[in-house]
Chains A and B, each alone.
Chain A
Amino acid sequence: DAGVTQSPTHLIKTRGQHVTLRCSPISGHKSVSWYQQVLGQGPQFIFQYYEKEERGRGNFPDRFSARQFPNYSSELNVNALLLGDSALYLCASSLGGIRDRALNEQFFGPGTRLTVL
C-alpha cells in the first residue's frame, strides 16, 4: 500500500506570493494533519482535518489555511509568504474519529520543502 504522498517535493517562491501544498493520506485514513518543521526544530502543528471539517488549529496566522476534500486528500494554502515561512511542510494521516481517544498512529509523508526568497 502507498504511504502518505505529498506534492510538490520542493518549491521556491518569493516574498508576498501564495503557495498551495497537497497531501494524499493512506487509503482508509480520514484524518489529515499539517505540520511545519523549521530547520533544526521539531515539527509544529498547524491544522487537523477530519471528515472535511477542521478539528484543530495551531498558533499560526490567518495567512495559513487548509481544506480537506471528499476523497480525504488535503491542501494547505499560505498567502503573503514571508521569509520565515521557509520550512519543511509535513502532512500526517491517521484513522481519526473515535480512535483519536486511543492509540491512533499518525503516519507522516516525505514533506514539501518550501524556500521563500
Chain B
Amino acid sequence: QKEVEQDPGPLSVPEGAIVSLNCTYSNSAFQYFMWYRQYSRKGPELLMYTYSSGNKEDGRFTAQVDKSSKYISLFIRDSQPSDSATYLCAMKKEGAQKLVFGQGTRLTINP
C-alpha cells in the first residue's frame, strides 16, 4: 500500500464549476501538507501549504486537512480553463525535507 493515495482521474468539469481533489494517507507522522500544480512537461508549482489540521484559503483555492481521518482536500472555485493541469498532493514529517507525493490527478476544465 502506498503512503499517499490519490485518484489519478482524469477529471473533466465545465468552466465555473467547483472542483474537489482529494488524497488519503496512512502515515500519522505527516504534519505538513501541500498541493502542487503541474502543467504538462513543467515542474510542479506550489499552490497551498498547510500545517496540521484545518482550512486555508487563498483566492479561489481552499485546502482542508483532516488528520483524524488522514484525508486532505483541495477545492477550486469558479474553475477556469487555465486551471487545467495535474494536481499533486504532497506531505512531509516534522523535521524532514523529503516530500511524499500522491500519483497526481489530471484535471481538465472545459470552456
Chain A residues packing against B (C-beta within 8 Å): 4, 31, 33, 35, 40-45, 48, 50, 55-56, 58, 88, 90, 92, 94, 96, 100-101, 103-111, 113
Contact = CB atoms under 8 A, between A and B. Distances in A.
A43 B99 contact: yes
Interface string B23-36: 00000000010001
Contacts of A110: 42-43
A108 B43 contact: yes
Contacts of A88: 41
Contacts of B97: 31, 33, 48, 50, 55-56, 94, 96, 100, 104, 106
Interface string B90-101: 100011111111
B102 A42 contact: yes
A101 B95 contact: yes
Chain B interface size, as a band, is 20 to 34
Residue from the set A42, A43, A55 with the largest chain B CB neighbour count within 10 Å: A42
B22 to A, nearest CB: 14
B3 to A, nearest CB: 11
Contacts of B43: 4, 90, 108-111
Nearest to B100: A45
B98 A42 contact: no
A58 to B, nearest CB: 7
